[in-house]
């Protein structure tokens, strides 16, 4: 008996250590970014153009650029991803084709982001002649985030009880009516979760936008989807590695804004999601 109790203590101890190993780095990262970057935050930093070869001034165009990329890529990927997931889960019967498609989705999720960048460059920028533009970047980011959206949407659909579908069918509803009225409304919170995860990924990626949209230095706002933009992660990369003597606060401030932007979007989506849950 004593032995069992000791074993249990060691077991729980190991689990606790594993949990701390996850939590501690997160706290350290966030703490470091806040400690070093918070001082740089100011009205000027957030809402003006960079000056003096990006060693001073603000990061406004990068904030706007990242925001535009998030909105356009999600606007492209969310409908397509949700429709694909609905088809795969609600319509398609399990056969060789759907198994291949599922395998493809899993593999798509495992492709490294720089490969997506290269793919987007050759397809959208060169072959389809979109040029280095918001369109090319948003499509590249969108394709990269599709597996996340499809997978989470499918999980959300799976979580809707099968009995809802049976009830709907038994009341004479067609398959589409059943999906539209007895499945999707109750899967929406879960689908939103997928969108939230995608926002974080899209906002933070550097490699896919490297060849497709990101501008090194562009001190004006874009006028159309054919323009290049600056983006926060790429801006962070160049101010850290390409330009000498950029003040530390400026770099960490950029990182803080990036993390904060993702956080704000996530919190907004979580609030929206819980509101939808309470409504019913």
Partner 1 sequence: MSAGGISIRDLNIRWGGESVLRGLNLDIVPNELLSIIGPSNSGKTTFLRSLNRLNDLDPGISKTGRILLDGRDIDREIGIEELRKRIGMIFALPIPLPISVYDNVTYGPRLAGVRGKDTLDRIVEDSLKAAFLWDEVKDRLKSSGQKLSGGQQQRLCIARTLALEPDVILFDEPCSGLDPISTAKVEDSMLELRKRHTIVLVTNNTKQAARVGTRTAFFLMGEMVEVGQTGLIFTSPADKRTEDYIVGRFG
Residues that bind partner 1 (CB under 8 A): 93, 161, 163-174, 177, 181-182, 185-186, 280
Residue 185 or 260 having the CB closest to partner 1: 185
The first and second tokens of residue 46, run together, are 């957030």
- 258 membership: H or E segment, kind and range: helix 248-279
Give 97 or 263: the residue with its C-beta nearer to partner 1: 97
We find the least distance from the C-beta atom of residue 111 to partner 1, in angstroms, to be 33
Compute the C-alpha angle 255/51/136, nearest 5°: 60
CB of 187 to partner 1, least distance (A): 12
Tokens of 71: 């909105």
Shortest Å distance, C-beta 179 to partner 1: 12
C-beta of 53 vs 161, nearer to partner 1: 161
- Least gap, CB of 171 to partner 1 (angstroms): 4
The answer to whether 108 touches 147, Cβ cutoff 8 Å, is yes
Instruction: Output 129 or 278, the one with its CB closest to partner 1.
Output: 278
- Of 55 and 181, nearer to partner 1 (C-beta) is 181
Burial of 183 (0-12, 13-18, 19+ CB in 10 A): buried
Q: Which residues of 76-115 are buried (b: 16+ CB within 10 A; e: fewer)?
A: bbbeebbebbbebbbeeeeeeeeeeebeebeebeeeebee
Nearest distance in Å: CB 92, partner 1: 11
C-beta of 277: minimal distance to partner 1 in Å?
A: 10
In the complex with partner 1, the residue whose CB is nearer, 9 or 175, is 175
Q: 3-state secondary structure string, 167-203?
A: HHHHCCCCHHHHHHHHHHHHHHHHHHHHHHHHHHHHH
Q: Which residue has the tokens 């498609």?
A: 101
| Residue 92 half-sphere exposure toward CB, CA atoms < 13 A | 17
Nearer to partner 1, 44 or 166 (CB): 166
Closest CB 133 distance from partner 1, rounded Å: 44
């Amino acid at each position: 008996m004593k032995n069992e109790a000791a074993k249990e203590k060691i077991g729980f101890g190991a689990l606790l250590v594993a949990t701390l190993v996850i939590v501690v780095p997160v706290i350290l990262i966030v703490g470091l970014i806040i400690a070093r970057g918070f001082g740089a935050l100011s009205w000027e930093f957030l809402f003006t153009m960079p000056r003096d070869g990006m060693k001073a001034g603000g990061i406004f165009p990068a904030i706007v650029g990242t925001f535009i990329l998030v909105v356009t890529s999600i606007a492209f990927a969310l409908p397509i991803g949700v429709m694909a997931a609905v088809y795969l889960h609600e319509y398609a019967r399990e056969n060789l084709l759907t198994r291949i498609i599922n395998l493809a989705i899993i593999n798509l999720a495992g492709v490294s982001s720089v490969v997506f960048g290269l793919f987007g460059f050759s397809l959208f920028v060169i072959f389809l002649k979109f040029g280095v533009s918001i369109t090319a970047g948003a499509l590249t980011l969108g394709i990269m985030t599709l597996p996340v959206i499809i997978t989470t949407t499918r999980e959300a659909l799976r979580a809707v009880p099968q009995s809802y579908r049976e009830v709907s069918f038994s009341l004479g509803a067609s398959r589409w009516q059943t999906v539209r009225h007895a499945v999707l409304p109750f899967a929406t919170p879960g689908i939103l979760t997928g969108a939230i995860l995608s926002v974080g990924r899209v906002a933070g990626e550097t490699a896919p936008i490297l060849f497709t949209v990101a501008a090194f230095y562009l001190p004006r706002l874009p006028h159309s989807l054919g323009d290049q933009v600056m983006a926060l992660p790429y801006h962070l990369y160049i101010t850290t590695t390409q330009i000498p003597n950029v003040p530390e606060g400026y770099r960490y401030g950029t990182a803080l804004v990036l993390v904060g932007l993702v956080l704000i979007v996530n919190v907004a989506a979580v609030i929206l999601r819980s509101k939808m849950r309470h409504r019913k």
